[in-house]
Each structure stands twice: as structure tokens, then as C-alpha cells.
Amino acid sequence: MKTKIVAGIALLGAFALAATGCSGSAGAGASGGSGKMITVGFAQTGSESGWRSANTESMKDAFSEANGFKLIFNAADNKAENQIAAVRSFINQGVDAIVIAPVVTTGWDDVLKEAKDANIPVILEDRTLDSSEDLWASWIGDDFKKEGETAGAWAAKTLGATPTNMVVLEGTTGSAPAQDRAAGFSSAIAGTKIKTLDSQTGNFTRADGKTVMEGFLQKYGKQINLLFAQNDDMGLGALDAIKAAGLTPGKDVQIVTIDATHDGLQALVDGQFNYVVECNPLLGKQVAQTVKDVLAGKTVEKRQTATDQAFDQNQAKTALPDRKY
């Protein structure tokens, strides 16, 4: 009888140990305990472009189980309301940290306050928002305004001395890259002879870039000398519209874009684009390390900027064989 009692106590102890090992990860992540998975909710914008796909893969690779993470991924289909709902779901699930690539800059105050009240740190990835800085721990991304300035500086140097009519394919309305790239480009071409005929959103997608460019060409025809596409995919969509109108992209209509994806650099090598500014999507490792540092109570930089390049045709030829996205 005594033997049976001892065995029963041992069995109960084993169950208790197993239950402890499977307990919720929120406390484990916050305490920085070694060997315990960190649960992270990642609210992505969607899958609107080649850049975004590369960014998503970089994040999934970095937040892998092998690296000590359990990733809960949500793509919002470029709808802010979907993204906010996803963040609320992460809070309700008791994740250790939340990473957001905000679709738009506004409308985040309430849900970020909810995360703060739940002691869940928020890290911004790629895009920024306009909420108080005490509601998020760090931002990791690219300098969108500088990207716009670099693209505009090329346009000013190349075409600014002669009368030039430009159309613009904007990114998602209200998004940080669309706003900042527009501001940077405008400041760089100030005082030149470049005139903006029209500017409309193409939602960072190839399909919408084509549709909006078709409208520009129907309205302005051969008056258009320059296209500034705020990302490669919209520029690539515009190529089809330009060719269908009987014009030669890269010659009749010069094109400057931002992202420097593989397809964008190929268009530059082929002479269809004229200049491409990089926006580095491979941010996963930097974001994952920041999450670990924040949960460990370490001081992190409030703003962490990736390094971007810019490419002419010869530089694109050199970079293209090893391009990872």
C-alpha cells in the first residue's frame, strides 16, 4: 500500500512539472526566461507587392521556432480595420510582444493603449504611425523621406533644367511611405522645371499601377515625360499601359521608382526604368533582436533605420545576380 501511495505522489509530481512546462508564454517572454518560447503577434499590411512578400518571409524566418519564437501572423489585406482587429486578437491571446507594419498612420491610439495596459510591448516594423511615442517601444524600417529625396534628386539632375511633365503613382493613401516619399521628392525637385500633371494612388499594387497609368495616358497622352512610381510594382504595372499607348518606357516616358526588388532592377537593366531607389525589406533579424531586447528590459533605440542604396543601369547589372528579393 505504501508503495502505491509513493508512486501516486511521483506521478502527480510529473503531471505538475509537465503543466508548468506548457504554461502560457506571456510570463516567460516578459521575464526573459531561457529555453521558453516567445510568442509574438505580427500584424502585416498584406501581400500587395514583391517587396511585401520579401518582408514577410524575412520576418517569418527571423521569428522561427528555431530562434525561440512562436509567431502568430496576420495579413490585413491593406485594410486598417482588419489590422486593428488582429492586434486586439493578439492582446486577447496574451502574446509577449506585438509587431505592427501599420497600413496607415492614424487611428491607432485606442488599441495601442490597450496593449500598454496589458503590459505587451509594441514594436513598429517598416511603417510608422502618429500615436504618442510612449505607446510603442521601437521602430525599425527605412527612411521613406530620404528615399523620396534621392529619387527626386535624380529627376532634378536629369530632367530639371528643361520643361518636364510628370505624373505620380502614389502608395496607399494615408500610409507613411506614401506621405514621406511624396514630401521628399517634392522638396528635391523644388525650383526645377518639373511640373506635376497628376498624382493618384495605385495602392502599391501592379494592377492598380497599370489602371491609373492608363487613365493618365488617356488624359494627357504624349505630354507625359516622367513617371514617379512610389514603388516598383506600380511602375511595373505602368509599363504595360505605356507600351499599349504606343510609347517606349525609359525613353518617351522616363521612370523613377522606389524599392529595388529583383523585378524592378531587371526593368532598369532592360532600359524600361531609368533609376531605382532601394527600400530594404529584409528587416526580420533586426526586429526579432529588438523584441528580445525589449522583453529582457534592455534599452533600445527608439528609431532604427536600415541602409538603402540607389541604382542606375550599370549598378543594377552588378547587383541583380545576387539580389535576394
19-71 pLDDT, tens digit each: 333 223 333 333 344 568 999 999 999 998 989 999 999 999 999 999 999 99
CA distance 88 to 161: 52
CA quadruple 233, 236, 238, 240: dihedral sign: negative
Could you tell me if residue 12 is inside a domain? Answer: no
Same domain, 187 and 257: yes
**Angle between helix 232-244 and 50-62 (nearest 10):** 160
Same domain, 275 and 158: yes
The partner residues of 74 in beta bridges, in order of sequence, read: 43
pLDDT at 35: 67
Same domain, 218 and 266: yes
Same domain, 130 and 212: no
Q: How many domains does the chain have?
A: 2
Residue for grid cell 509577449: 96
First to last CA, the chain: 68
Distances (CA, A) of 110 to 101, 106, 127, 173, 241: 17, 11, 18, 21, 42
Could you tell me if residue 17 is inside a domain? Answer: no
Give per-residue pLDDT as tens, 26-37: 333 333 445 689
C-alpha cell at 287: 526586429
Predicted TM-score of the model (pTM):
0.84
Q: Which residue type sits at 147?
A: E
pLDDT at 324: 83
Structural domain including 34 reads: 24-141+281-306
Same domain, 154 and 246: yes
Q: What's the mean pLDDT when you consider all of the chain? A: 91
Which range (26-30, 92-96, 201-205) has the least confidence? Answer: 26-30
Same domain, 148 and 245: yes
Helix (H, G, I), strand (E, B) or coil at 261: coil
Any idea of the CA torsion for 39, 299, 80, 201, to the nearest 10 degrees? Answer: -130
- Indicate whether 275 pLDDT > 70: yes
C-alpha cell at 149: 529625396
